[in-house]
Amino acid sequence: MTMNNVGRPTAPGAAATASGHTSLTGARGLLQDEPLIFELGGWDKTGVDFDPPDHDAYDLGDLVRTAPIGIPGLSEPETLRHYVRLSQKNHAIDLALYPLGSCTMKHNPRLNEKMARLPGFADLHPLQPQSTAQGALELMDRLAHWLKTLTGMPAVALTPKAGAHGELCGLLCIKAAHEAAGNGDRRRVLVPTSAHGTNPATAAFVGYSVEEIAQTADGRVDLADLEAKLGPDVAAIMVTNPNTCGLFEREIIEIARITHAHGAYFYCDGANFNAIVGRVRPGDLGVDAMHINLHKTFSTPHGGGGPGAGPVVLSEALAPFAPAPWLVHGPDGLELVEEARDQAAQTFGRMCAFQGQMGMFVRAYAYMRSHGSDGLRQVAEDAVLNANYIKAVLSAEMTPAFPDGPCMHEALFDDHWLEGTGVTTLDFAKAMIDEGFHPMTMYFPLVVHGAMLIEPTETESKRELDRFCDALLALARAAKAGDVERFTGAPYLAPLSRLDETMAARKPKLTWRPEHATPLAAE
Ligand SMILES: *Cc1c(COP(=O)(O)O)cnc(C)c1O
């Protein structure tokens, strides 16, 4: 294990070029090996000049601090460079294709950003009088209208701040509806084995016990198993459509029918709505509640790019239980109703302090308006076309998990084709980094062995898809030709090589302590 210039361990090979050349400083070309801001030192200086206090600092008596405050003191250029260098170590959708299946990493149009920065939206205060924020309320009202129209659902709760938060909102509506009908003793929620982890987690959080629904050999909900598990104690099913194998649930109407026949509700995980937006209305399929990830389907940034938003559309049966606030058209314009009253007297409560992520509403609405309804339909068509192109091209070397028939917006491969090569899905993904491509989603969904889930989205050009496929095919051939080291030690060309990801997840070090800075202290 080598150490970098501030004494932090650097994985072997981290600063070695392909030719084996190693730098003395840990830098790579003009990219410096970046220490933590605390390790940059300068405890006794500051980048800002303060006037001496014009009152007696000793007003504080013996409360005056005698030890250093412990904040790194950096000049303005040092601070700026630190953060710019950090940003260069991050992958971003603005840098290259980001093929994370299920995450829908699509281009975030700059027009949306421009709209979100209009002072009338960006400088709003959540407590300012509603009469002074009518434009913003109108935007929320129009966004709600588009979401209801696109999904064919009569109501929408805008406040949830992520997909998982939307799931919580939907299940709380379902719970409230059962309780209002005297069915509060329904304790089970059924979730397919391929579900995103947030589905069972949400159901458990709401207090339900979770039971798995089996999957058929062609990657879809096993209707017979679903029917066998439905019963008078089932509150809801949570099904994703298209599902996390990238497949449309062909029996979706039947799934809804038998679920309703047993008195349970159908929660649809709408994270994959981008595959069907403008083509299929979930309301027509019998869905009772569905979250929409604005940061996926409607192109608002996610991950490091900002907060998400997960509005939930609701059926007639669940709408009365929707969380506050909601918008009504009053005599003086639009009004946010903050508490239970009138038809909405049965609201289950609130999901957040104010009205949700205004900036995301603006971005999503700008995206909808710039595409129009025909453009949104084409979003779904192109997303599906791109995924099928990848599935077809990569099938030359890799094994699709469900070879029969087309996929929806993501192409799923298993690791069958790696058998006997000594290379695993993880190794293959790490080697992609050396070739300039962010890995696809790995080992999810769990029902597929060594899964590699690739979602190109509609925003990638054919040229970029070809570059991506060429790189993966070349890597696949290298793996089959026995060039195992290229994979097992990868990435060789990233700032850091293999990390102990399990340790990082299980025992994260989130706080810097001076004792970690031994080399500095010794200086
Ligand atoms: C992304 C995703 C979620 C969770 O959404 P967040 O906005 O990340 O909370 C749930 N289900 C599926 C299928 C997803 O892809």
Q: What is the pLDDT of residue 12?
A: 45
98 vs 427: CA distance, rounded Å = 18
375 sits in the region (left: phi over 0; alpha: psi -120 to 50; else beta) called alpha
How far is it, in rounded angstroms, from Cα 492 to Cα 473?
19
Residue 111 CA, chain-centre distance (Å), reads 22
| Backbone φ, ψ for residue 192 (5° rounding) | -65, 155
The pair of three-digit structure tokens given for residue 364, joined into one six-digit string: 């999503």
As a whole number of angstroms, the distance between CA 298 and CA 270 comes to 12
Atom of ligand 1 nearest to the CA of 165: 9
Residue 104 and residue 457 in contact, taking contact as beta carbons nearer than 8 Å = yes
Query: How many whole angstroms from its chain centre is CA 518?
Result: 37
Q: Please compute Rg for the chain using Cα positions.
A: 26
CATH class of 112-367: alpha beta
Task: Count the Cβ atoms, other than its own, within 10 Å of residue 311.
Answer: 31
Residue nearest to atom 7 of ligand 1 (CA): 163
Residue-by-residue DSSP string for 492-514: SSSSS----HHHHHHS---S--G
Q: Report the C-alpha gap between 213 and 195 in whole angstroms.
A: 10
**Over the range 384-410, which residues count as b (16 or more CB within 10 Å of their CB) and which as e?**
bbbbbbbbebbeebbbbbbeeeebbbb
For residue 293, how far is its CA from the centre of ligand 1 (angstroms)?
Answer: 7
Take atom 15 of ligand 1 and give the residue whose Cα is closest: 102
In whole angstroms, give the CA distance from residue 245 to residue 192.
Answer: 11
Residue ranges in 318-414 assigned as alpha helix (H): 358-394
For residue 305, report the distance from its CA to the centre of ligand 1, in Å: 16
Q: Give the residues surrounding ligand 1 with Cβ less than 6 Å away.
A: 102, 162-164, 196, 198, 240, 244, 269, 271, 293, 308, 310
Q: Nearest residue CA, atom 6 of ligand 1?
A: 163
SS3 of 418-477: the string is: HCCCCCCHHHHHHHHHHCCCCCCEECCCCCCCCCEEECCCCCCCHHHHHHHHHHHHHHHH
Closest CA to 162 of 358, 308, 323: 308
Ligand 1 atom closest to 102 (CA)? 15
Print pLDDT tens along the chain (523 aa): 455 555 555 544 444 555 677 788 777 788 788 888 888 877 777 777 778 777 666 677 778 777 777 788 888 888 999 999 988 888 889 999 999 999 999 999 999 999 999 999 999 999 999 999 999 999 999 999 999 999 999 999 999 999 999 999 999 999 999 999 999 999 999 999 999 999 999 999 999 999 999 999 999 999 999 999 999 999 999 999 999 999 999 999 999 999 999 999 999 999 999 999 999 999 999 999 999 999 999 999 986 556 889 999 999 999 999 999 999 999 999 999 998 877 678 999 999 999 999 999 999 999 999 999 999 999 999 999 999 999 999 999 999 999 999 999 999 999 999 999 999 999 999 999 999 999 999 999 999 999 999 999 999 999 999 999 999 999 999 999 999 999 999 999 888 888 888 998 999 888 877 665 544 333 3
Query: Candidates 269, 299, 454: which one to mutate for ligand 1, based on the most atoms within 8 Å of Cβ?
Result: 269
Site to probe by mutation for ligand 1, drawn from 167, 198, 409 as the one with most ligand atoms within 8 Å of Cβ, is 198
Atom 1 of ligand 1: nearest residue by CA position: 103
Per-residue confidence (pLDDT) for residue 501, from 0 to 100:
85
Atom 5 of ligand 1: nearest residue by CA position = 163
